[in-house]
Structure 1
């Protein structure tokens, strides 16, 4: 069983504080912000001194003297007003590294204990192609799905399709005008089993924007679209059958994009799937006085005393009785908590939806549906072009996601050819390498940094094999595997990782920080924490590899130890990339 290094040091500090008759409230360590000075630092002497009315330097000196006798530390010193700096002994690093290497979870603790977490991400609309605006939701959501599963949560990923709104009425009414003879529009619809959609995917994707524009400028067209929407939602058999055909056609294309990004959904439910639950939900909310009439509409007052600014009520139903986006989300949330038993429900949706989710979450709390459930909106910023503005095509339109991903793969193929990587690969393998590198470039750029900040989508920079990029991390993994493969071919043995020089100690310290990086990334719902960790680990390995010959080491035991360090680093780095949703090629 793996025992985190920080937990071990904290236990030693508590013992030391107790041995000196000091309270242990502040007996804890943090990684030192200046690794050239120490590995860990304890700042507990100062608050402890304040509690006792003593001098912090005196307490720090006593603690330092006591800690210096412990075999777990190579060196302990005090500095400034009472900081305690600690260098970890190589023997403790070797022991912890061996534990980490043999832990099947690489030290990631079970936080979920089999409880259910539902992640709502992607959110595509039926009849529209996925575009650049879907990228961040898909990439961040998939990474969080993987990390929560690693922590022992039972995870359900749901795309929550937009398949029940006005856009469906716009489509069907446009088709009715174009081809009124279609069987779905007959006065008495005769179902004929599974019937293909009356348009191709390309036609569908052209039809919707044209229909939407016509409805925008022509009140008559909008009235037709609203009439078809109402008929569809009321159960018109012809429109229902046509809706299913269009939904299936659209989903086929969207699932290809999901697959290209390596995104997995457990459910592909849409707004339509929750419609039967809406009327009973509204009836219950009205009966309990939670939903009330206001200007002939139904609302839920979600304002609370102490709000810094007025929070508008949640609009549950319009004057005509039509349900809304908020209605659907509230009913879906009720199903996820009451029927599925979710303990966490996460919505990976654009930050501009912050107010909407605050209203929905407060309405759910007011209804008593989320007392022991964590509800969280995981917002994010925009994907920007090199001009700093939201990413557009050269023609000024919204970029299709498939086109964006194709461009990344093409750029990766160019960079691979220019660099000479994969020169000995067959064409199919080389194409697969370009796909892996292109996707790594896109994903790492998307996940790096604070998700609330936007980022610049610059393919020339993103597919570089140098710097803070996905391909750089892939190459680090491949290089480690190459070293281990050559070692095996020459009969070298992987031994125990026993550090002797500073670069080796720093590499093991970086590996041992992996479980905490995952825990922090999940705590903050920030995959960027793990992305930054992975980049730092790759840099540490690069310094180690430059300063510490592995296969070229003169002593057999030293070669075995350094191979163990390569092995552990390769496992941790590959697992980090896996949790970020990034594939690692076998060769480059």
Structure 2
């Protein structure tokens, strides 16, 4: 079955066509005046221009044709030709029962599944995750989950920064501290130790120290650059040391990403693309896609219709060194060869939009990416402090993601302690789930491109459009269902009240919202939807005594409606990467 709104549109479109007008004018939308009607069709106004006829006359013809259809409870024409629509209970009820019996609550899997790679990690080896990594991780995870839910084959790749200057900085710093290690002996021929000479805590202290030193000490910077070149040229000791650093970093990253309920299918990095660079460069040269400009190898990606300059894509610097972009282009080569994807989606700070524009153009112009391969960049804004600037610690530094999670969990624990409804042995797990719902929902409820302000009191509130409010609604439904017997009948009856009807009208929007969220890469649409759905449920709950209802047929219908509401909310939360609780 199609989405509820498409079912309505199809019926109206048929009548437009029967009346001699193009079917495209029959599109229905949710009313922007719910006080007047539930849905509306504005096609008569657009058709008037083409058919040179008064829009109200067109609307009148269509409404007369629709009046015999039992799908509609009420049809009126307002203003110059708006068709206002209210749906009949029987039609609404039929769709609700279809959702109730369907494993995906009415969401159809795509008839043309795609293989999609989502590049959404961007973490750097040797560095702890900080707040700047939050948005990429959780927006990317949600987009990946939604795409999978709709039947696509989706591969999430963390794409680690594991091959750049930061590795040279760490290696050269370790050499200054422990010069006697076998990794630094160029004459050593034996096997290198299996255990890493440094721990993750030492590594996280070492990198910022080495980075600061290299910026202020020319000699230290030269040593870091030299170590980077030797590593990338395959010096055995440095390669062994790099593997140690990679292993302990990835283990720590997996733990931290896991805390966010973010999981990657691939843990590849820039180093994995390195082997593809020489052949790629030869290919670009042989086919005259790249040329030398001021000693550097570039691909011209500017177009005649560009409204502002688009610089050439830099493949190699004048000294022959590869760059960030070189690795990105080689990664496309690798992904095409290994996975033959239909689409690659990149998540990164929106300030990198020019880089991705150059990258995508270079990939297409050089035929590294075929015509059918879709390359898409989803840029996101920053999480800011109340001063409007990117969120930092009190000392002015970039906050570690682990510390941010601890802050939000602590705020939630304070609120849960006040309620005194959680058993002592459940507090930690409930705080984790509710805390992450507060943090992640606050981020995901914003349009990705928008900046937003970190407000811990608002995020952790159990009221308003927040993660804890949505989770509490699910807990409330579970609590009600635990107090009533399972319904004997598997049917949901026509609504008995206005609040029940409004709840049903929210439920039937589910598949439309999922599709809209995926097509536009906007998880915030699902956040908006479940907030409205939670409000509709809570109004229904406040006006109906479900547990004590004496009419068993009515109560059974309500139990089934609650089960459907819970399933839709839980499914939606899972698409956002959020977990539910049994108690709050």
Q: d(CA) in 2 for partners of 1:390 and 1:45?
A: 48
Q: Relative to structure 2, which stretch is displaced further, 80-89 or 8-17?
A: 8-17
Q: d(CA) in 1 for partners of 2:92 and 2:380?
A: 38
Q: d(CA) in 1 for partners of 2:400 and 2:111?
A: 36
Given that 2:31 and 2:40 are in contact with CA atoms closer than 8 Å, whether structure 1 keeps it comes out as yes
Q: Secondary structure at the match of 1:87?
A: strand
Whether 1:346 aligns to 2:342 is: no
Normalised by the size of structure 1, how large is the TM-score?
A: 0.96
Q: Relative to structure 2, which stretch is displaced further, 391-400 or 105-114?
A: 105-114
Map 1:204-283; keep pairs closer than 5 Å: 204-283=203-282
Given that 1:290 and 1:300 are in contact with CA atoms closer than 8 Å, whether structure 2 keeps it comes out as yes
Map 1:105-116; keep pairs closer than 5 Å: 105-111=104-110, 113-116=112-115
Q: Secondary structure at the match of 2:275?
A: helix
Give CA deviations for 1:98-149 in whole Å, capped at 9, x if unaligned. Answer: 1111111222222374421000011111100010100001110110110000
Q: Secondary structure at the match of 1:475?
A: helix
Given that 2:299 and 2:362 are in contact with CA atoms closer than 8 Å, whether structure 1 keeps it comes out as yes
How many residues align? The count is 583
Whether 1:472 aligns to 2:469 is: yes
- Specify the alignment match of 1:558 in structure 2: 554
Moved over 6 A (4+): none
**Structure 2 vs 1, CA of residues 167 and 503 (structure 1 numbering), >3 Å: closer, same or farther?**
same
Q: d(CA) in 1 for partners of 2:18 and 2:395?
A: 72
Q: What 5-or-longer segments of structure 2 have no aligned partner?
A: none
- Specify the alignment match of 1:324 in structure 2: 323
> Residue 169 of structure 1: CA displacement?
0.8
Q: d(CA) in 2 for partners of 1:143 and 1:112?
A: 21
> Residue 494 of structure 1: CA displacement?
5.8
Given that 2:182 and 2:192 are in contact with CA atoms closer than 8 Å, whether structure 1 keeps it comes out as no
Whether 1:537 aligns to 2:536 is: no
Q: Secondary structure at the match of 1:235?
A: coil
Q: d(CA) in 1 for partners of 2:343 and 2:493?
A: 39
- Specify the alignment match of 2:79 in structure 1: 80
Q: Secondary structure at the match of 1:342?
A: coil
- Specify the alignment match of 2:376 in structure 1: 376
> Residue 350 of structure 1: CA displacement?
0.8
Q: d(CA) in 1 for partners of 2:490 and 2:42?
A: 39
- Specify the alignment match of 2:484 in structure 1: 487
**Structure 2 vs 1, CA of residues 414 and 493 (structure 1 numbering), >3 Å: closer, same or farther?**
farther
Give CA deviations for 1:499-551 in whole Å, capped at 9, x if unaligned. Answer: 13222221111111111101111111111111111111111111111223322
Q: d(CA) in 2 for partners of 1:359 and 1:52?
A: 45
Q: d(CA) in 2 for partners of 1:83 and 1:521?
A: 27
- Specify the alignment match of 1:127 in structure 2: 126
> Residue 292 of structure 1: CA displacement?
0.6
Map 1:67-216; keep pairs closer than 5 Å: 67-111=66-110, 113-192=112-191, 195-216=194-215
- Specify the alignment match of 1:505 in structure 2: 501
Q: d(CA) in 2 for partners of 1:554 and 1:21?
A: 53
> Residue 191 of structure 1: CA displacement?
4.2
> Residue 62 of structure 1: CA displacement?
2.5
Given that 1:121 and 1:138 are in contact with CA atoms closer than 8 Å, whether structure 2 keeps it comes out as yes
> Residue 371 of structure 1: CA displacement?
1.0
- Specify the alignment match of 1:456 in structure 2: 453
Q: d(CA) in 2 for partners of 1:21 and 1:553?
A: 51
Q: Relative to structure 2, which stretch is displaced further, 93-102 or 10-19?
A: 10-19
Q: d(CA) in 1 for partners of 2:64 and 2:134?
A: 55
**Structure 2 vs 1, CA of residues 23 and 229 (structure 1 numbering), >3 Å: closer, same or farther?**
closer
Q: Secondary structure at the match of 1:47?
A: helix
Q: d(CA) in 2 for partners of 1:351 and 1:220?
A: 35
Q: d(CA) in 1 for partners of 2:455 and 2:140?
A: 22
Q: Secondary structure at the match of 1:190?
A: coil
> Residue 54 of structure 1: CA displacement?
2.1
Q: What 5-or-longer segments of structure 1 have no aligned partner?
A: none
Q: Secondary structure at the match of 1:397?
A: coil
Given that 2:3 and 2:107 are in contact with CA atoms closer than 8 Å, whether structure 1 keeps it comes out as no
Q: d(CA) in 1 for partners of 2:366 and 2:109?
A: 31
Given that 2:276 and 2:333 are in contact with CA atoms closer than 8 Å, whether structure 1 keeps it comes out as no
Q: d(CA) in 1 for partners of 2:455 and 2:50?
A: 54
> Residue 178 of structure 1: CA displacement?
1.3
Given that 1:93 and 1:499 are in contact with CA atoms closer than 8 Å, whether structure 2 keeps it comes out as no
- Specify the alignment match of 1:397 in structure 2: 397
**Structure 2 vs 1, CA of residues 294 and 498 (structure 1 numbering), >3 Å: closer, same or farther?**
same
**Structure 2 vs 1, CA of residues 194 and 41 (structure 1 numbering), >3 Å: closer, same or farther?**
farther
Q: d(CA) in 2 for partners of 1:44 and 1:390?
A: 45
> Residue 194 of structure 1: CA displacement?
5.2
Q: Secondary structure at the match of 1:559?
A: helix
Q: Relative to structure 2, which stretch is displaced further, 400-409 or 16-25?
A: 16-25
- Specify the alignment match of 1:521 in structure 2: 517
Map 1:412-431; keep pairs closer than 5 Å: 412-422=412-422, 425=423, 427-431=424-428
Q: d(CA) in 2 for partners of 1:324 and 1:15?
A: 56
Q: d(CA) in 2 for partners of 1:244 and 1:191?
A: 17
Q: Secondary structure at the match of 2:26?
A: coil
> Residue 483 of structure 1: CA displacement?
1.2
- Specify the alignment match of 2:442 in structure 1: 445
Q: Secondary structure at the match of 1:258?
A: helix
Match of 1:432 among 429, 439, 449: 429
> Residue 242 of structure 1: CA displacement?
0.5
Give CA deviations for 1:476-496 in whole Å, capped at 9, x if unaligned. Answer: 11111111121127x776642
Normalised by the size of structure 2, how large is the TM-score?
A: 0.97
**Structure 2 vs 1, CA of residues 188 and 144 (structure 1 numbering), >3 Å: closer, same or farther?**
same
**Structure 2 vs 1, CA of residues 293 and 112 (structure 1 numbering), >3 Å: closer, same or farther?**
farther
Give CA deviations for 1:403-458 in whole Å, capped at 9, x if unaligned. Answer: 11111112111110012332xx2x33221001000000010011012111111222
Q: d(CA) in 1 for partners of 2:189 and 2:401?
A: 38
Q: Secondary structure at the match of 1:155?
A: strand
Q: d(CA) in 1 for partners of 2:427 and 2:480?
A: 21
**Structure 2 vs 1, CA of residues 45 and 221 (structure 1 numbering), >3 Å: closer, same or farther?**
same
